[in-house]
Structure 1
């Protein structure tokens, strides 16, 4: 079984979201057997990945960074988070009492350390804080994990 992790930006320009959707669908289409997807279920790229994973009939393993994680979502994203968490075949909640950059960094590292391939919906720029996508990609590269970067050339986040 192939295990694919996700890391990506929460606020995606429409063109980046469309590119990520195309790339993730293509990735799932080329995998011959069952896939387990690892995701912290953050808004944006993680939600997109998890929705496409489940729609393709694959297995979701949610990696929840901390207790109180649901409190970090706006109402619309919270509903999606709750739906995806309920659909997960497995849930791992890390032992952090509350949301923090340290908890988010640990979740990213967990995803990387338990996947064969990391999908990064990432503009290539350094992380804005500890635990951002840039940090997760760097960790994956340090461990020699395969990384698929999905981002349209020349597009910047606002």
Structure 2
């Protein structure tokens, strides 16, 4: 399973989304669960943590060579490093700069490696190329089943 989702979850939303992910992924727990994630802040990192907590295998897709720097600037390099170290496999995409093109390519790699997409998504249109709404639309075009996770009470910042 691959993940896409919002980075800007409210603090109150984090445990709600985590609980919903545990409920969804629990059916696949153990050796049969492989999660593919870019481990971005928010939904991606929550998904990765749940996969690991359930005994699954984590594959991290790094969109670009400067992605860790982007994470460090956002104050989350430690979380990124922890998840990357816990991964069974790390795939670094052939881009120097983490931008819309790199994120779109990373999404394609996620789709290639998954038989379903988990989307932590409020259903609203996206705010940039390679975002959650674009990933959901592309997955649908590819015939990849999408499981939307947006529990009651979940919200985004702003």
Q: TM-score, normalising length from structure 1?
A: 0.90
Structure 1 residue 55: Cα displacement: 1.1
Structure 1 residue 126: Cα displacement: 1.4
Pick from 36, 39, 42: which aligns with 1:41? 39
In the comparison of the two structures, how many residue pairs are matched? 155
Partner of 1:22: 19
Structure 1 residue 128: Cα displacement: 0.5
Tell me how large the CA RMSD over aligned residues is: 1.7
Structure 2: runs of 5 or more not aligned: none
Partner of 1:60: 58
Structure 1: runs of 5 or more not aligned: none
Per-residue CA distance 1:60-96 (angstroms, 9 max, x = gap):
0000101010111246411000000011100111100
CA distance in 2, matches of 1:35, 1:18: 21
What SS does structure 2 have at the residue aligned with 1:14? coil
Q: TM-score, normalising length from structure 2?
A: 0.90
Q: Which deviates the most, 139-148 or 71-80? A: 71-80
Per-residue CA distance 1:3-23 (angstroms, 9 max, x = gap):
x10000111023432332122
CA distance in 1, matches of 2:108, 2:35: 15
CA distance in 2, matches of 1:29, 1:156: 23
CA distance in 2, matches of 1:102, 1:124: 22
